[in-house]
Structure 1
Amino acid sequence: MRIPGFIRNNVLLKMTSLNAPVILVRQFISLFIRRVIAENFGESGIFLQGQLRSLIQLLTSFTSLGIFNGIVKYISEYRDDEEKLVALFSTTFVFTVLGSAISTVVLLVWHDDLSHYLFGTYQYGYLIQLIAVLVPFISLQRVFNGVVNGLSQYKKFAKIDLVSYLISSAWIIICLFQENFDGVLIGIAVTPMIQLIILLWVFMGVLRQYLHFKKLRFKAPMAKLFLAFSMMSFFSTVILSTVEIEIRNLILRRISESEAGIWSAMLDLSKNYMAFSTILFTMYVIPKFAVVHGRLQFFKEMGLVYRTILPIFGLGMIVVYFFRGFIIDLIFPGFDSMSALFKWQLIGDFIRLIGMVMSYYFIARKLVYYFVITEILSVGLFYVFAHYFIDIYGVEGVVIGHMIRYIVYVVVVFLMVWHYLTQQAKQKNVPQ
């Protein structure tokens, strides 16, 4: 089917149209899996798989020492400079080896303690050991995804994402119908390895064009540049995942495992519809913002993203809110108390979307100080508000805290972006 002309002429809309079917299929399968877990294993099952997914998310960033966005930025800038590409990938190799080695040792040595912390039992120590073995696959999958995103190969990436997700989901669904919850958790754990295999199968030719394996050295000439991205990723992904794990444990301690599962279900649903924006922003916004100079260009590009994406997301969120009862019955049967969480979660996510566009400028321009300050603020406020409101409103207090922290976040990010662009204009006489 041909893409309409007005979409072909707008890169962002073109990416939206190409990724939308993939995201919809992923959402359908993901939510179907959640339904079967909810039916067969209840809130406890949703809680356990939520903890595991947060751990995988944490490792996805840490095993490569958080250089994903650095790869996206520099591959787009150096794609025609072989010497710089060798320096880029040699540094990537060093960071990946170090991050993977540290992660593997920690997981192997403290597998029982981590199992107890994450799942409240020592019985999943074997799962932590399995993940330790899978660490190299997790890190390589992240690195090669960065290369694909940096080259803006969004059409092929959409196919990779869909095929790999279908394969891993098939395994999980088979285990679900056999009521084998351990198999479900193993399926979640091996998903990055499946994604890596499919990615290499589709993209090996492109990777060889830019990644000259024989020229790689165990040196890190771009270490200082990458350290900035490592620090940013540490605060945006590693600490956020840790806070999510801790908040589930907080709900578990102060209320119940059932309520921890309710919040995990709400968070899962949120991550499903927010996944589209994350992929889109990584593949479009970072490469664009990397070459934007001055307030005029920045606000022009930001305006394009807002005009294209916000109305779509806003309408979608309104539909989700008014059909929340139907969604709960369809995906999380028996999770009726989840209905009260929708309003605060959806408002918070929409405000988050507004802030994400601006914050990606910090990543694209490697503005470590600005990014770290805003991320510390965001994660810190969420943790504090969750602790405070949970005693007043129960699990609903967690999503109220989620909304309030993003209101503060958007204001602070806007002020910091404005301040930076104003200072740059004064120093370099960049047109405003």
Structure 2
Amino acid sequence: MTLIKTSLLNGIAVLVKMLTLLGLNKVLAVYVGPVGYASLGQFQNAIQMITTFASGAINTGVTKYTAEYHDDELKQQAVWRTAGTIVVVGSLFTSVIIALFSDSLASWVFGKEGLGGVFVWFAATLLLFTLNALLLAILNGKKELLRYVLSNIAGSVLAFVVTTGMSIYYGLYGALVALAVYQSINFFVTLLVCWEAPWFKVKYLFGEVDRGVLINFTKFTAMALTSATCVPISHILVRNHLGDTLGWAAAGYWEAIWRLSSAYLMLVTTTLSVYYLPKLSELKTYEGIKQEIIQGYKMILPCAAICGLVIYLFRDLIINLLFTDDFLPMRDLFAWQMFGDTLKIGSWILAYLMLGKAMFKLFIVTEVLGSVGFYVFSIWLSGIYGLEGVTIAHALTYALYWTVMIVFITRELKGMKLSTSE
């Protein structure tokens, strides 16, 4: 399937997800406010870390090797059985730990123990959460895009319905519980979508762990654990710093602009995940990889830049439509945030080659340095420019990250060209 076809079909799911997310922005803005936004961001980052550890951080590897072994069903099944066993064991163990230390986790994430019940809900549904992610990774690797799209649409609608209802009736606590459980509910939809697929059987998802597959997974586990640890922790630390120095409302404004960025960039980032990762995993030649990267820069980067410019020009209208008057101070954050988002996509087009070709050492080093750099830049620049300094730090971080990607990925491609020409 071509990049254009993938983008169009995936665009349907992304459009639905964008609309539901933007609708949720309005609901959350009304019922939880800027301070509540900061708490939601803290919990979302905690979920990212916990689910990655619980699943063994192997979903990217599942997608890669499912795509790579597209002509060998037995190898694919070995990948799935190994992954499924890791997910079940890891999730059950993690659930027990979360339940036992729920109050302590709430104290660290939210600054108070009264929200420990949110983590109990999360622990109770964690296994379904990670199994849903595993099935989606398999669908992605199998290039079952229609099923993948249907599952994601269902997940978006469920997220909107559950979060809206819980926020209206229970305020911030309800929104946090909804964030904890909605993807677990979506597992049943994803399972139903997969059930009729000719390749799907429950026995393929659990069983003996294949030693070779397990060794292959270790690279992706190292990469995913690094990302799942560094990025959320850096964001939590930045929010804590903003809360302590500028107030938790300021942290909420930053969370709001970050969520807006995530929403409008979703078409780009999901296309990278759904199209680029399987495609780059399959490609073996220098010319093939180079062509895909050039195509990405011709289509994806201009799209991201234009979207960012439009959002900047209509920022006042967007704040009025998607948020409330309480969020008007975030108006000053748009320029640098949109610029940084464009730099981010430019760098990610190259960075996905690290995932597709398992360049785990380069990935880990750049991920750690990028997260540390963002935190340090945020502390430094927010001290000079206030809240706007965090968005300047976002742009500066990705300008440096893109530069590093150009240097190292170009070197990698040149090495591939030399090896194939010998």
TM-score, normalised by the number of residues in structure 1: 0.92
Identity %: 26
Change in Cα spacing, 1:80 to 1:222, as seen in structure 2 (3 Å) is same
Letter in 2 for 1:405: T
- Structure 1: which amino acid aligns with 2:8? S
1:46 aligned partner: 37
Contact kept, 8 Å, 1:228 with 1:368, in 2: the verdict is yes
Shift of 1:225: 0.7
Partner of 1:132: 123
Q: Post-superposition shift, 1:206? A: 2.2
Farther-moved stretch of structure 1 (140-149 vs 304-313):
304-313
Residue type at the aligned position of 1:365: K
Equivalent AA in structure 2 for residue 424 of structure 1: M
Q: Aligned partners of 1:214, 1:409: CA distance in 2, in Å?
A: 37
Pick which of 421-430 and 327-336 moved more.
421-430
Q: How far apart are the structure 1 equivalents of 2:362 and 2:353?
A: 10
Asked if the contact 2:85–2:206 (Cα under 8 Å) also holds between the matched residues in 1, the reply is no
8 Å CA contact 1:248–1:260 kept in 2: the answer is yes
Q: How does 1:236-251 map to 2 (within 5 A)?
A: 236-251=227-242
Tell me, yes or no, if structure 1 residue 169 matches structure 2 residue 160. Answer: yes
TM-superposed deviation, 1:14? 1.4
How far residue 12 of structure 1 moved from its aligned partner, in angstroms, is 1.3
Q: Indicate the larger mover: 201-210 or 296-305.
A: 201-210
Which shifted more, 55-64 or 201-210? 201-210
Matched, 1:222 2:213: yes
2:112 to 121, 127, 140: 121
Code of the residue aligned with 1:425 in structure 2: it is: K
**Does structure 2 conserve the Cα–Cα contact (< 8 Å) formed by 1:37 and 1:46?**
yes
For the Cα contact (< 8 Å) 1:47–1:264, is it kept in 2? Answer: yes
1:103 equivalenced with 2:94 (yes/no): yes
Question: Is the 2:83–2:205 contact (alpha carbons within 8 Å) kept by the matching residues of 1?
Answer: no
For 1:241 and 1:248, locate their aligned partners in 2 and report how far apart those are by CA, in whole Å.
10
Please give the per-residue CA displacement for 1:292-339, whole angstroms capped at 9, x wherever unaligned: 334432221111122122222221111100000111111121211101
1:397 to 389, 400, 417: 389
User: Aligned Cα RMSD in Å?
Assistant: 2.0
- The 1-side partners of 2:364 and 2:206 are apart by 34
More deviation in 89-98 or 346-355? Answer: 89-98
CA deviations 1:78-122 (Å, max 9, x no partner) are 233233223212321342134324422431232111101111211
Deviation at 1:211, TM superposition (A): 6.2
Residues 1:61 and 2:34 are matched in the alignment: no
- The residue number in structure 2 matching 1:318 is 309
Larger mean CA deviation between 233-242 and 80-89 belongs to 80-89
From the superposition, tell whether residues 108 and 214 of structure 1 become closer, same or farther in structure 2 (CA, over 3 Å): closer
SS at 1:124 equivalent: helix
Instruction: Give the Å deviation of 1:161.
Output: 0.9
Aligned amino acid, residue 377 of structure 2? F
- Number of the residue aligned with 1:340: 332
- Secondary structure of 1:178's partner? helix
In 1, are the aligned partners of 2:343 and 2:402 still within 8 Å (CA)?
Answer: yes
Specify every segment of 5 or more residues in structure 1 that has no aligned partner in the other structure, as ranges. Answer: 1-9
Aligned: 1:417 with 2:412: no
Counterpart AA for 2:386: G
Change in 2 beyond 3 A, CA 1:207/1:252: farther
Alpha-carbon distance between aligned partners in 1 of 2:205 and 2:189, rounded to the nearest angstrom: 23
Report the secondary structure of 1:296's partner residue.
helix
Any conservation in 2 of the 1:138–1:193 contact (CA below 8 Å)? yes
Aligned position for 1:199: 190
**Unpaired segments ≥5 residues, structure 2:** none
Matches within 5 A, 1:248-267: 248-267=239-258
- SS of 2:282's equivalent? coil
Aligned-partner Cα distance in 2 for 1:36–1:154: 30
Aligned residues: 421
Partner-residue secondary structure (3-state), 1:203: helix
The TM-score with structure 2 as length reference comes to 0.94
CA change 1:299–1:427 in 2 (3 A) is: closer
Q: Which amino acid aligns with 2:156?
A: Y
